[in-house]
Structures are given as C-alpha cells and as structure tokens.
Amino acid sequence: MFVLVGMAELTAAGIYMQYWLPDVPTWVWAAVFFIIINAVNLVNVRLYGEAEFWFALIKVLAIVGMIGFGLWMLFGGHGGSKAGFDNLWRHGGFLATGWHGLVMSLAVIMFSFGGLELIGITAAEAQNPEKSIPKAVNQVVYRILLFYIGSLVVLLALYPWVDVKSDSSPFVMIFHNLDSNVVASALNFVILVASLSVYNSGVYSNSRMLFGLSVQGNAPKFLARVSKRGVPVNSLILSGVITSLVVLLNYLLPQKALGLLMALVVATLLLNWIMICMAHLKFRAAQRRKGRESKFKALLAPGGNYLCIAFLGLILVLMCTIDGMRLSAVLLPVWILFLFVVFKLLRRPA
C-alpha cells in the first residue's frame, strides 16, 4: 500500500512544482524527488528521523500560521468582499448537496487518513510503548480537530466553496485569488513538503515491512540484509524499484496519474484496515486465552472492530458507484485472490 501512497505523493509533488514551473512535466519532478529521498534513506536510519522531524515541524508551523493569518484576514477586514463566516452556510446552506454528497465524499476523504496505521508499525521501535503509543493515538483526535477541521473552517470562510476548483490546491488557490501571492507560494511550498514527508515515511515503512516479512520467513531471505548503518538495503532497493514506475506512469498519463493512484490507494487502505481489525480481534482472543489483559484497550472492542469493518465495507460499495474508483474496487478481490494463491504456493512443502 505504501508503494502506491508514495507514487501518489510523488505525483502530487510534481503537480505542486508546476505552480512555479508550469512547463516542467510532473514526471521530471517525480524522478528528482524519488532519487533524493531514497538516497537519504540509504545513507543512515538517523537521517530519516531528522528529515521527518523537519518535515513535520514545517507542516505544523505553517498550518498554525495559515490558520492565524486567515483569522487575521477575516476579523481584520482584509479578506475581500467574498470573505465571511456566512460562507459556511450560504451557497446552498450547510450540507449543500445533502447527505448524499457527504456520503459519496467519504471514499475520497479516506485517502487523507491513510498512514494512521503507522503508529502501530513504529510501536516495535518505541522505547516506552506503554506510554508513547496511547499518547500518540489520543493526540490524533486533537490534531484532526486543529489541522483538518480548523484549517477547513478558515478556508471556507475566506472563500465561497462554489468557486473552489479541483485542479489545484484549494489552500494555494484561495490565497492566490485574495492577492496574497507570497502566502500562496509559501503554502504551496508547505504542501510540497507535506507530500515529500508522506513519501519519506512510506520509504521507511516499505523497507521495514519487507524486512520484517523476511525475518518471519514470509518473504525472500535476501530482503533481511542490513547495512553497517542499520539500513535494510535490499528491502529499500526493491520497494524503490517498484515505486520508480511512477515516473513512467506520469510520462504516459500525466493528467490521469494522480486520480488513478488515489483510487488504488483507497482500495488498499480498506483492505489493510479491515485486516487490522480482524487481526486485532484474533489477537485479543489469544490474549484472553492466556489470561492476559491489554494495558491500552481499544474503544468499544470487540464491537468497535465490527463497526469499523462494516463502515469500511460501505466505503467499498460506494467506490463501485464512482466512475473514477470503480476499477480499483473491482480489482481488490482479484488482488486478494492473487495474494492468497501466492501465500499457499510459498507455504506448500517442497
């Protein structure tokens, strides 16, 4: 899944770069960022953490600054004639397209929440998981309220949603149309950094998952090779080779690449999250049989697991009704069957 996410983010990074250099095709930027980030991850594990720290710091400071600047424009009367909190309920009212519009948007919204499962992936390397993991999980709620909902409220108040176009970043477009070109360029840079941050995390996750599968005997042994600096080199190279196909995809389908990749990412997200819910059910059952209790219990478990599975199933059904996502939804069971067959073949006695 993180290979597809990485491909989508590299494509998005190329689109963001076209804000400044519109004549340079997206595949060129995808190739440039692909080479730089993989080179950084090959050098040292520590560099990944340092790069991600600065990526995250830039994102957080920029979003907080954008919200603050937007509020200053709203309350200071600098937002223009179209700005005002009444934009939140004008132009068709709240939920202007009705519940149908809200429900249909869920499939696209899912893409934005991809990566939350990284908390679990990095838990094995946490020094004090009993404290750090619950803290990280609980902070997700507050960060969504501030960084997602807070920024959306400010943006929707600054500019009518009916005038927002889908072929560019709404953050950048809104401030550009408000004659804040410097702010628009700064936000475009931040969004670019955010995409590269996601890809950087994906490179780390891909290599570690392949390495873990190899150690467990579920992947070829050569993927378990680690360099002197602690980098799973072969796993990193393999995931990089697959991800490099994004350059070819952007060369052949520059206008459709991002939409296609986003649909595939959402489909794999659904599969991953459903498997996580099922694995958690099995894990809790095994723990109870051994007389062990979890120190950080999941909310409403096990009922919450079944609710999540039902919700994710609903998203899959919705994808079948959307033209741009139907193919990825149909291919999902084919992919599951393929994985099952390969698993059985690998497990078959020699």
Q: From the CA atom positions of the chain, what is the Rg in Å?
A: 22
Taking the C-alpha atoms of residue 45 and residue 51, their distance in angstroms, rounded to an integer, is 10
pTM: 0.79
- The CATH architecture annotation of domain 2-83+115-254 reads Up-down Bundle (1.20)
Measured between alpha carbons, how far is residue 176 from residues 79, 81, 87, 168, 214 in Å?
12, 15, 18, 11, 49
* CA proximity to 125, closest of 199, 48, 54: 48
Taking the C-alpha atoms of residue 50 and residue 110, their distance in angstroms, rounded to an integer, is 28
What DSSP assignment string belongs to 179-221? Answer: T-HHHHHHHHHHHHHHHHHHHHHHHHHHHHHHHHHHHTTSS-G
pLDDT (tens, 9 = 90+) of the chain, 350 residues, equals 678 888 999 999 999 999 899 899 999 999 999 999 898 888 776 766 777 778 778 878 888 888 888 888 888 877 777 778 888 888 777 777 778 788 888 888 887 787 777 776 666 666 777 777 788 888 888 888 888 888 888 888 888 887 776 656 666 766 666 666 777 788 788 889 888 888 888 888 888 888 888 888 777 888 888 887 778 888 889 999 999 999 999 999 988 898 888 888 888 888 888 988 898 889 888 888 888 877 777 778 888 899 999 999 999 888 888 888 888 888 888 988 988 888 788 777 65
